[in-house]
């Protein structure tokens, strides 16, 4: 798992030494931030009302237990929305910034030398496939979000164990999204990509969970997105080898 965190650190270090590349990769994340920031702020103000609407059975309770229960419900609801938003922020940013991050990923690979495959897929078919993958991811994220929301109502466990599990689940999906840029160039689509990542599960979870932690920091998803793309490129590069007959092998 530490190896995965190291890839993230290497990616952040790569862009830190190249401020122009960091600024180049920052543009799409800033655009997405405006949209998601507005939505999350709006939801934060509505969380209490939504929690009350979801728990009508508590209307007849005395003030203390009812308010305490709805505070927990509101926190669980906001955590569930945050989980979905974390994954969808990355997916939407990668779609908006496809040309930016494709170029950034190529620059990372070229800086390390060796053969660098380039995608022969046309822009619009690739974009449509990315949108399709984002929709599939969105459905999965909502499903897990609802599960974690439900588990969040369990006293103690819902406020301790569940957030940790949610962090690793979101990290796994984040790793799948971010490595997609480099793996797509090697002909690996979504199913093959996740199948390959499962063969290096500890590394994948280390990279993904580390990325998720940084993305939870205010503005972290914007500041660290270029470094995460660079780190994911390095990890994908080590997981894939185009010289094999199948096109892929685990390093």
**Residue 104, phi-psi category: left (phi > 0), alpha (psi -120 to 50), beta (remainder):** alpha
How high is the mean pLDDT of the chain?
A: 81
Q: How confident is the model at residue 11 (pLDDT cuts 50, 70, 90)?
A: very high
Q: How confident is the model at residue 33 (pLDDT cuts 50, 70, 90)?
A: confident
DSSP class of 212? H
Q: Token pair of 61, please?
A: 């309770």
CB of 202 within 8 A of CB of 146?
Answer: no
pLDDT for 91: 83
Predicted confidence (pLDDT) at residue 139 exceeds the cutoff of 60: yes
How many CB atoms are located within 10 Å of the residue 154 CB?
14
Residue found under tokens 């920091």:
217
Residue found under tokens 């940790």:
164
pLDDT for 126: 67
Predicted confidence (pLDDT) at residue 246 exceeds the cutoff of 50: no
Predicted confidence (pLDDT) at residue 248 exceeds the cutoff of 90: no
Rg over CA atoms, the chain: 20
Q: Model confidence over 38-68: pLDDT tens digits?
A: 777 777 677 677 777 777 777 778 777 777 7
Whole-angstrom distance, CA of residue 58 vs CA of residue 73: 11
């Amino acid at each position: 798992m530490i190896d995965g965190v190291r890839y993230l650190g290497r990616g952040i270090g790569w862009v830190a030494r190249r401020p122009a590349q960091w600024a180049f990769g920052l543009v799409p994340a800033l655009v997405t931030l405006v949209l998601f920031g507005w939505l999350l702020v709006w939801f934060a103000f509505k969380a209490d009302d939504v929690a009350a609407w979801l728990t009508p059975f508590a209307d007849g309770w005395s003030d203390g237990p009812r308010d305490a229960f709805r505070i927990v419900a509101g926190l669980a609801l906001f955590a569930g929305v945050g989980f979905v938003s974390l994954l969808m922020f990355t997916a939407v940013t990668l779609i908006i910034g496809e040309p930016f991050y494709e170029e950034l990923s190529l620059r990372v690979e070229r800086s390390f030398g060796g053969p660098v495959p380039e995608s022969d897929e046309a822009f619009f078919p690739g974009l449509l496939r990315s949108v399709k993958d984002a929709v599939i991811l969105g459905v999965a994220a909502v499903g897990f979000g609802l599960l974690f929301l439900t588990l969040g109502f369990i006293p103690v466990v819902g406020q301790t164990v569940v957030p940790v599990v949610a962090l690793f689940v979101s990290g796994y999906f984040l790793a799948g999204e971010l490595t997609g840029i480099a793996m797509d160039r090697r002909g690996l689509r979504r199913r093959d990509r996740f199948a390959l990542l499962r063969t290096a599960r500890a590394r994948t979870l280390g990279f993904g969970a580390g990325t998720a932690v940084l993305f939870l920091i205010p503005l972290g998803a914007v500041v660290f997105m270029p470094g995460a793309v660079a780190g994911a490129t390095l990890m994908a590069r080590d997981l894939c080898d185009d010289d094999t007959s199948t096109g892929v092998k685990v390093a």
